[in-house]
Amino acid sequence: MSHATSDLLAPFPRVSLCHQPTALEFMPRITTALGGPKLWVKRDDCTGLATGGNKTRKLEFLIAAAIEAGADMVVTQGAVQSNHVRQTAAAACKFGLGCHALLERRVPDRADSYEQTGNVLFDHLFGASIEYRPSGLDMNAEAIAVTEKLNASGRKAYFIPGGGSNEIGALGYVACAGEILQQSADQGLDLGWIVMATGSAGTQAGLVAGLHAAGSDVPVMGVSVRQAHDIQVKNVHGLAVKTAATLTDTPLPVEKIIVDDGYVGAGYGLPTEGTLAAIELFARQEGLLFDPVYSGKGLDGLINMVKQGFFDDAKDVVFLHTGGAAALFAYEAQLAAMG
C-alpha cells in the first residue's frame, strides 16, 4: 500500500489476516480477445484466509474491534452461500472466538445441496453455529437481535454486519486503494478505471474513500449484483462518506459513486447467461476462477463495457477480483449445462 494510505490507517486497531499486497496481474489473452484497453486483475481472491476473498481485508479491522470490545464470539449474517460468513468463521478460529451466523435463504429454487456444499461446507468445518432465515427480512436487524440475546445469556458477542460493510470494515479497502495506486505506479500503468462487482457496498465504498483520501481521481465502476442503481449509489455513498470522514476533512461528492445495474438479471445469486459465459471465458483464456454471485456479474459488465467502447483504450483498466470460487460448487448444474 502507498505510504499515504498506510499513514491514514495507522490509528486504527488491526489484526493480521491477509496476504498483502495481493498481486496485480496483466491479462494478455483476454485483452487480445476483447480488443480494448489493457486489462489487469487485482488478485483479492488470494488474500489467504480460507480460500481468500475480499472480506479478509475488512476482517483485519473488524476482528480487531471485536477483540478490543472484549468479545468471546462474533455474530454475522449473509446469504446461504456467503463468502463473508466463510471468511468470518475462519478469522474467528484464528483468534479463538466463537462464530454464530444467520444465513438468509435469499436465492429461490435451489436444490437441497445448495445448503450443504461450497461455503456452507466450510462454515461447518470452521465450527460456526448456523441458523437460517427466510428471504426478505432485515438481516442485520435479525443478527443484532441475536447478538443482544446472546449477551443477555452471558456471552460477549460482537456484531459484524453483512459483508463486513460498515466504516470499520471498509478500511480494508482503503488499504487496497493504496496498494493499487502503488502497484500501478511501480508497474507503469496509466490507470483509467477500476471495475468491480458491488453488493453490500463496503468494498466499493472503501476503495472510493481510499482513493479520495489519497487525492486520486481514478474512477471506480461498481457493477451491481443485487440492487437497482439509485439504491446502490445511496448505499455506497453513505458508507463512503462515513469512511472518508475518518481519514480526511475533504467532502466526498456523490458523483464519485458510479454504478451500473444492467447485469443483476433475475436477482441476487441468480447468474445470467452472460455471467456464466464470462466465467467460462476468463477460465479458458486466463486460467482464473470467478464466482457466479459477484465477480461473474462484474466480468459480464466489464466485457460489455469494453465491447461498447466505454473505456479509453490508451489507459489501463483494473478488475478487482473479490474471490468466491468456493461458491462455484453450489452452481455445478448450471455450469455443467454450458458444456
CA dist 121 and 109 (Å) reads 19
Q: Is the peptide bond before 253 cis (omega within 30 degrees of 0)?
A: no
Burial class (CB in 10 A: 0-12, 13-18, 19+), 228: exposed
CA dist 62 and 168 (Å) reads 6
The grid coordinates of residue 79 equal 446469504
Radius of gyration for the chain, computed over Cα atoms and rounded to the nearest angstrom: 19
For residue 78, list its beta bridge partners. Answer: 103
The grid coordinates of residue 65 equal 474491534
The grid coordinates of residue 290 equal 470467478
| Number of other residues whose CB lies within 10 A of the CB of residue 322 | 27
CA dist 79 and 294 (Å) reads 12
CA dist 165 and 56 (Å) reads 12
Backbone angles phi, psi at 253, to 5 degrees: -75, 150
End-to-end Cα separation, the chain, in angstroms: 41
Residue 44 is classified by DSSP as: G
Q: Name the nearest CA neighbour of 233 among 266, 198, 209.
A: 198
* Residues marked as catalytic: 82
Question: Quick check: 112 and 86 in contact, CB under 8 A?
Answer: no
The grid coordinates of residue 9 equal 490507517
User: How many whole angstroms from its chain centre is CA 286?
Assistant: 21
Question: Quick check: 101 and 310 in contact, CB under 8 A?
Answer: no
Q: Name the nearest CA neighbour of 259 among 287, 227, 224, 225.
A: 224
